[in-house]
Structure 1
Amino acid sequence: MRPIKNIFLLLLVCFFYNSDFCVANDSVKHNIINSEIIKIKKKFAPDSRLVVFDVGIINDSSGQNVLQGKTNSVIAFNELIAQINHLKIPYLNKIVQLPDSSLTEKSYGVVCQSVINLRSHPHHSSEMLSQALLGMPVLILEQTSGWLRVQTPDNYIAWTEKSSIVRFNKNQMNQWTSDRKVLFCNDFGHSYEKPDNKSQRVSDLVWGDVLMCVSESKKFIKVAYPDQRVAFVEKQFCRDYQSWINEPNPTPAIIVSTAKKFMGIPYLWGGTSVKGVDCSGFTKMIYFVNGIIIQRDASQQALYGKQVNLENGFDEISAADLLFFASESNGDLAKAITHVGLYLGEMKFIHASGRVSINSFDSRSPLFSSYRLNTLVKYQNYLNNIGSTGILKIKDSPFYQLIK
């Protein structure tokens, strides 16, 4: 009986030893793959605001290595698969490539309300990250109950309500792109059921909204929304869309004049419209209504354009340049960017802080802000760099061009 018992114990020990070895072996494999994931994310998807690369590896119930998660980066996905294949580690690929196949052909969309909110997660309680305007094209990445995850023309990725977007297939999207359109260029306004501003309102409108032009009369333009609603807008508040996107590059005077039209508009975290702006939403809107797409957040805007030399104070900075601030500086230019404003000239700048207002770097001025002077860390010239990475004319954006 004793020999049988000893054999049983030996087998039991071997079983647990091998089990522990397998677990340890899997752990090593996972560490290797996770290391590759980190490298690829750093190389191809360093900014999660612009690229989705949320992937990882687990063991399923059978002990098989399973790659799971989501990405909208084809190049990052292909690199990951190539690296794992090179390592000769067996795996099952369950990574969802966005746009999600459940969207079928309708992975394009156009904003159908005057201003829509873009959130960090598909919940009304989630942080508002940005906004998008009526007529703006988006790429739809995925959907969940009542929500769409979209990418806007500045490549920003966020969630919005399904009711905010009209989904199109490729042909429908190209039709919208080709249609004659108008830009609403008053701060605020409305569209109406009849060519009469005392008739029933159809919706509100804000500066930067785009609608399809159906026909026009002396005082009104008949317009169509992306969701096929039809209305009338006062002609005096509209301009031809094609003439807008084909305007020559704006001058410093035009940018400064545009910025001052936002004076007094309240600060709104994530705000990117005349209904409310945050600091970078304000600078973004200044350029957008002049036909230029720039990045969404201050930390992103600081990466583009041409850096102006700080050593000579304000001698080399020009009106319409962007100014970047840190929460604390003390001379440390490496501090994280937390605020942005626009230079007006004569040591004055305009920015959204509480509301859109003007301050000065001149200690003799009643508009002087010692805090902003002490936390100023960077100047970037944008106007002379239109067409470079991160500063794109609307007509040159793939979002506003025909899909091939």
Structure 2
Amino acid sequence: MKSNHILNLVLLTTLLFSCEKNENTEEVTNLIEAKRAEVAPDKRVALWDLNFENDSLKGETDQLEALQELIKEIEAQQIKFTDAVLRLPDAALGEKTKALVTISVANIRSNPKHSAELATQALMGTPLTVLKKDDGWYLVQTPDGYLSWVDRAGIHLMTEEELAHWFREPKVVFTALTGYVWKDENESEMVSDLVAGDILTVQDETKDKLKISLPDGREGWIAAREAQDWESWIASRSTTPEALITTAKQMMGTPYLWGGTSIKGVDCSGFTKTVFYLNGQIIPRDASQQINEGELVDADKDWSKLQVGDLLFFGVKGTEEKKERVVHVGMWIGNGEFIHSRGLVRISSFDPENPNYDEYELGRYLRTKRIVNVPSEHVLSVSSLLTNN
């Protein structure tokens, strides 16, 4: 009888402890999710991978201020726990928490392996924030906030001070659609290929050549006519109808590439992002992010309201059971036409009499937004790219 009593007591204690533990887990999980909704509703641009298990707060995040707020909220509930959260940038990186893209176009993937989905791209000279390392891959954040993985071979790791020094060096922007860096002025050996928008530092110049340095220290020569110094390039950027149309049409025929944001290949939102970048603005990466910017122009297929540069969005309309799905974007170029990347960069029209009539896109049209000359939280000036923030 005595042993049964002891056994029952142990079982009761275990049950009470388990109930308390479960209650703590549920309460902390609710706090985690509430904070996620506040600071990281879009996991593409904010990392908040936290969980509470066995009285331990685990996971990783780059939202350090929010993490401290969460910890205070847990402590206020008098819940004892172990803090096992990895704070990013990872301390294992040391001071090398910055990087520059060192190849013409860096492929940035959803996971740390070459077979992973291509999430986005970054051009040579683009500054990145480095968050952690996984073998030969680095989790980085691009200037538009996108979080993805890049191969070590495509970047040059730097400290804050080294990046600040690079910012101060004289620079040029490569303006031809494609080109090369040559080892010598005779163009006998290629150092690297280039695409429009790549950023290089200048070491010397002749009448028609520039001696430049790539972000990883490699040097070579380019034709002076194919580049423009950074300050004058920035000053000449404009989202006028003429500038947007010219840039967009220069990319006609560029092949569709999921995750692409360069002349080598673009997806639909990568195309609009590239057009605006080459004209001085950094806009969000994906169509489902771009649709949240600017002001609403049309949702009723009244094309008379549209202006050159307006972004048209397509997808599946929402219902009571399902959320709206934004899957495609194009840019209005006037005269009843828009330009977009589907298979290749092409021009389409909603006019049945136009040879470019696109019944397919007309059928899944959602609405049009305007970001040209409209203040928007996540639309930035390219001039902010080379500031030491």
TM category, shorter = over 0.9
Contact 1:326 1:336 in 2 (8 A): yes
Deviation per residue, 1:84-107 (Å, 9 max, x gap): 112111111111111111111110
1:234 is the counterpart of 2:223: yes
Given the superposition, is the C-alpha separation of residues 329 and 28 from structure 1 closer, same or farther in structure 2, using an over 3 Å criterion?
Answer: closer
User: Which residue among 180, 192, 198 is the counterpart of 2:182?
Assistant: 192
Query: Which TM-score applies when normalising by structure 2?
Result: 0.96
- In the alignment, residue 381 of structure 2 is paired with which amino acid? K
Q: Quote the RMSD (CA, aligned, Å).
A: 1.7
Deviation per residue, 1:343-368 (Å, 9 max, x gap): 01111010000000011011111211
Gaps of 5+ in 2: none
Report what 2:39 is aligned to.
44
Report what 2:22 is aligned to.
27
- In the alignment, residue 49 of structure 2 is paired with which amino acid? D
Deviation per residue, 1:55-93 (Å, 9 max, x gap): 11111xxxxx11111111123212211211121111111
Contact 1:245 1:393 in 2 (8 A): no
Q: 2-side partners of 1:376 and 1:8: how far apart?
A: 74
Deviation per residue, 1:153-183 (Å, 9 max, x gap): 0000000111111111111100111111111
Deviation per residue, 1:360-388 (Å, 9 max, x gap): 01111121111211211111111112x53
Contact 2:287 2:326 in 1 (8 A): yes
Q: Which runs of 4+ in 1 moved over 6 A?
A: none
Report what 1:3 is aligned to.
none
Tell me the CA shift for residue 335 of structure 1.
Answer: 2.3
Contact 1:106 1:170 in 2 (8 A): yes
Report what 2:147 is aligned to.
157
- In the alignment, residue 256 of structure 1 is paired with which amino acid? I
Match runs of 1:279-358 below 5 Å: 279-311=268-300, 313-327=302-316, 335-358=324-347
Q: 2-side partners of 1:333 and 1:181: how far apart?
A: 49
Deviation per residue, 1:82-139 (Å, 9 max, x gap): 2111211111111111111111111011000111111111111111100011000000
Report what 2:379 is aligned to.
391
% identical aligned pairs: 35
Report what 2:387 is aligned to.
401
Report what 1:256 is aligned to.
245
Contact 2:237 2:279 in 1 (8 A): no
Report what 2:360 is aligned to.
371
Given the superposition, is the C-alpha separation of residues 51 and 354 from structure 1 closer, same or farther in structure 2, using an over 3 Å criterion?
Answer: same
- In the alignment, residue 221 of structure 1 is paired with which amino acid? L
Query: Which TM-score applies when normalising by structure 1?
Result: 0.93
State the number of aligned residues.
388
SS in 2 for 1:344: strand
Report what 1:104 is aligned to.
94
Gaps of 5+ in 1: 1-5, 60-64
Which has the larger Rg? 1
Deviation per residue, 1:10-54 (Å, 9 max, x gap): 101211221122122111110110011111101110000000000
Contact 1:130 1:270 in 2 (8 A): yes
1:180 is the counterpart of 2:170: yes
Q: 1-side partners of 2:88 and 2:219: how far apart?
A: 33
Q: 2-side partners of 1:310 and 1:23: how far apart?
A: 54
1:166 is the counterpart of 2:152: no
Contact 2:283 2:378 in 1 (8 A): yes
